[in-house]
Chain A
């Protein structure tokens, strides 16, 4: 039986991914060069993407940026997670308390998906994008989830990493030992390059069984880098986290991930293309 995949549509999605992952607006000529395709072909792709709302012109120029539709789709995805509805109020409180940016990341298979963020002005912003979906060991928020998973799941994650071939799938030496220490301590810290001796803080959000389903990241010089004990300030933040957990537990349906039915090993984001 022949594959149902429509091959002729794939380069149009490649064009869209290039525009989404670019730091700057891209022109037809830029995309033609990057994709090694004639400009007339790329022009057709862009016309299709523009007409369907997936890309738009940047300030009326002939260069393109992502349109509203990808953002609508991401928001619809984020709204599938109950924490997306419950979390923002608590994130704002934490951002005001900590005077730092606070993020909310949920577990999707072996990935962490950042679905909400609150700046210290108390206004909730939504962020997503290529950086928002990353393997659990790859960032503070994902590591926080990983540290508080049951042992069997951590073993499953190790098996998954062994099956990956890219270099980014290999955690640094001593990673698993650190993970155990984080679990014993109840929080995760990540040193900050721009603020020596300070670290960002990760707090797990757990289900009733005590396993992490999500995490809160306080992204900024929140604590001392060598901090192993709770300070009064951290205790206040954890109180807010506990309130969020209690709100989350109030409805048993909240504990079910919308992607719980998927095999975590099978969740593989499409490959990313080189940036412009």
Chain B
């Protein structure tokens, strides 16, 4: 996991920790990194970064790119992964980031994944206030709750339209539930534009939340993460004030989730 600039390095073996941290930077959509750019990002000296990069080249984990000025992952990296231990599934991938969000807010954090025309809760971290629980296995229609609407908004337009067609009239859970198809289309556009969905107390009265999509290689949803709390304990305004911190955590998670293809089927057309 990337460390922030200036953050203390693991103290056990600093040279190795630096090399491992630098190697982690290559697990992103940007395949090339120069030693100068990395030294700026990490707040380390150019010489220190250069020595780490050359050590990683020596080990076969990095190679120099065609221009000779930047580094990229080398084929030797496959030696570090065992086929005996499975590709990280979505819960294992998201859990550390969900814990961070829960620690940050004290609220419950849930992970939902698409399944046909529903969103299913598959992982949950209970916050300090447990007035509302979302049990593992709970299924929500895609127009209800910020987490489900986040998943809906991550689908292509034709799948959104199919969802509306198949589920009309849209079921009402509370007074805040969006049941008008045009309003739902507006909400989808809004979520896509801002990158998150807000609760309208559309699932349960008194429950507020903010949800973010977890996207795959092709921009399809692996799922969504929702930070959910009670109106008595927090407000949407206070949650929105933490948006830069939320976005930093979710940005880091999406950097990894975008390496993988969402497990089929995420398309609701075949559902």
9-residue interface stretch from B55-63, B167-175, B241-249: B55-63
Partner of A75, one of B10, B19, B260: B260
The yes or no answer to A20 lying at the interface (CB within 8 A) is: yes
Q: Count A/B pairs, Cβ under 8 Å.
A: 185
Partner of A261, one of B23, B66, B76: B66
The yes or no answer to B92 lying at the interface (CB within 8 A) is: yes
Flag if A4 contacts B51 (CB, 8 Å).
Answer: yes
Flag if B54 contacts A77 (CB, 8 Å).
Answer: no
Flag if B59 contacts A49 (CB, 8 Å).
Answer: no
Closest CB in chain B relative to A216 CB, distance in Å = 18
Closest CB in chain B relative to A268 CB, distance in Å = 7
Flag if A47 contacts B92 (CB, 8 Å).
Answer: no
Q: For the complex, what is the distance from the CA of A113 to the CA of B23, rounded to whole Å?
A: 20
Give residues of chain B (84-126) contacting chain A, Cβ–Cβ below 8 Å: 84-85, 87-88, 92-93
The yes or no answer to A267 lying at the interface (CB within 8 A) is: yes
Q: For the complex, what is the distance from the CA of A6 to the CA of B14, rounded to whole Å?
A: 11
Flag if B27 contacts A76 (CB, 8 Å).
Answer: yes
Flag if A88 contacts B261 (CB, 8 Å).
Answer: yes
The yes or no answer to A10 lying at the interface (CB within 8 A) is: yes
Flag if A17 contacts B80 (CB, 8 Å).
Answer: yes
The yes or no answer to B75 lying at the interface (CB within 8 A) is: yes
The yes or no answer to A130 lying at the interface (CB within 8 A) is: yes
The yes or no answer to B159 lying at the interface (CB within 8 A) is: no
In this complex, the member of A8, A22, A65, A113 whose beta carbon has the largest number of chain B beta carbons within 10 angstroms is A8
The yes or no answer to A54 lying at the interface (CB within 8 A) is: yes
Q: For the complex, what is the distance from the CA of A9 to the CA of B78, rounded to whole Å?
A: 19
The yes or no answer to B269 lying at the interface (CB within 8 A) is: no
Give every chain A residue within 8 A of B201 (Cβ-Cβ). none
Q: For the complex, what is the distance from the CA of A76 to the CA of B23, rounded to whole Å?
A: 12
The yes or no answer to A240 lying at the interface (CB within 8 A) is: no
Flag if A77 contacts B51 (CB, 8 Å).
Answer: no
Closest CB in chain B relative to A149 CB, distance in Å = 18
Query: On chain B, which size bracket covers the interface?
Result: 35 or more
Q: Mark B218-237, 1 if CB is under 8 A from A, else 0.
A: 10000000000000000000
Flag if B75 contacts A267 (CB, 8 Å).
Answer: yes
Q: For the complex, what is the distance from the CA of A131 to the CA of B85, rounded to whole Å?
A: 13
* Given known A4-B50, A54-B80, A267-B75, contact A73–B17 (CB-CB < 8 A): no
The yes or no answer to B190 lying at the interface (CB within 8 A) is: no
Flag if A48 contacts B13 (CB, 8 Å).
Answer: yes
Flag if A20 contacts B79 (CB, 8 Å).
Answer: yes
The yes or no answer to A13 lying at the interface (CB within 8 A) is: yes
Give residues of chain B (180-205) contacting chain A, Cβ–Cβ below 8 Å: none
Q: For the complex, what is the distance from the CA of A69 to the CA of B80, rounded to whole Å?
A: 9
Q: For the complex, what is the distance from the CA of A249 to the CA of B21, rounded to whole Å?
A: 37
Q: Apart from A12-B16, A44-B13, A77-B73, list 11 A-B contacts with CB within 8 A.
A: A6-B55, A9-B19, A13-B16, A51-B12, A52-B10, A66-B82, A71-B81, A72-B24, A129-B82, A133-B76, A270-B59
Residues of A within 8 A of B (CB): 4-6, 8-10, 12-13, 16-17, 19-23, 44-45, 47-49, 51-54, 65-66, 68-77, 79-80, 85, 88, 108-109, 111, 113, 122-133, 258-262, 267-270, 272
Residues of B within 8 A of A (CB): 1, 10, 12-13, 15-17, 19-21, 23-24, 26-28, 31, 50-52, 54-55, 58-61, 63, 65-66, 72-85, 87-88, 92-93, 217-218, 256, 259-261, 263-264
CB<8 Å pairs between A and B, sample of 7: A5-B54, A6-B16, A9-B55, A70-B77, A129-B78, A131-B83, A268-B60
